[in-house]
């Protein structure tokens, strides 16, 4: 009976730990979404300040930014993009760590065989050839 209680207590503790980890992950996700929403809103505000004139060039209205400020915004955009790219790559790697594509590397085609197979797959060559 004591073993059952100990196992139940251990299972309860593991469940609570998993629940806490899930709550923390959700909080981080919500924080990331809020940050992305703020960045999107800022970008939308900047886009709304742009107006196309009849010649097809973009005129900026009311931005009043110095070149230095514009460069800082540009550098921040690159950093944000790199951060998002790294996060996306990490998510992809985690998702495909165990479910990745498996390739048969036990045999190899000659270059001509490879080309013929590629043409067959594209439907540019008859299978009977």
Q: Is the pTM of this model over 0.75?
A: no
For residue 11, CA distances in Å to 2, 5, 24, 41, 100 come to 14, 10, 20, 44, 32
Angle at 40 between CA 66 and CA 59, to 5 degrees: 40
Which structure tokens are listed for 40? 């999107």
The two structure tokens encoding residue 90: 């990490």
Q: What residue spans define the domains of the chain?
A: 1-63, 65-97
Virtual CA dihedral for 6, 7, 13, 16, nearest 10 degrees?
A: -140
* pLDDT in the model for residue 48: 66
Predicted confidence at residue 127, as pLDDT, reads: 61
The per-residue pLDDT for range 21-36, each reduced to its tens digit, is 888 889 998 998 898 8
């Amino acid at each position: 009976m004591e073993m059952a209680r100990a196992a139940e207590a251990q299972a309860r503790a593991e469940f609570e730990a998993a629940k806490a980890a899930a709550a923390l992950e959700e909080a981080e996700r919500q924080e990331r979404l809020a940050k992305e929403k703020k960045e999107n809103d800022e970008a939308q505000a900047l886009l709304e300040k742009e107006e196309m004139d009849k010649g097809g060039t973009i005129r900026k209205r009311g931005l009043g930014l110095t070149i230095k400020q514009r460069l800082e915004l540009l550098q921040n955009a690159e950093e944000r993009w790199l951060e998002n790219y790294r996060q996306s790559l990490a998510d992809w790697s985690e998702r495909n760590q165990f479910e990745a594509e498996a390739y048969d590397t036990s045999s190899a085609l000659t270059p001509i065989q490879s080309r013929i197979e590629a043409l067959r797959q594209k439907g540019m060559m008859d299978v009977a050839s």
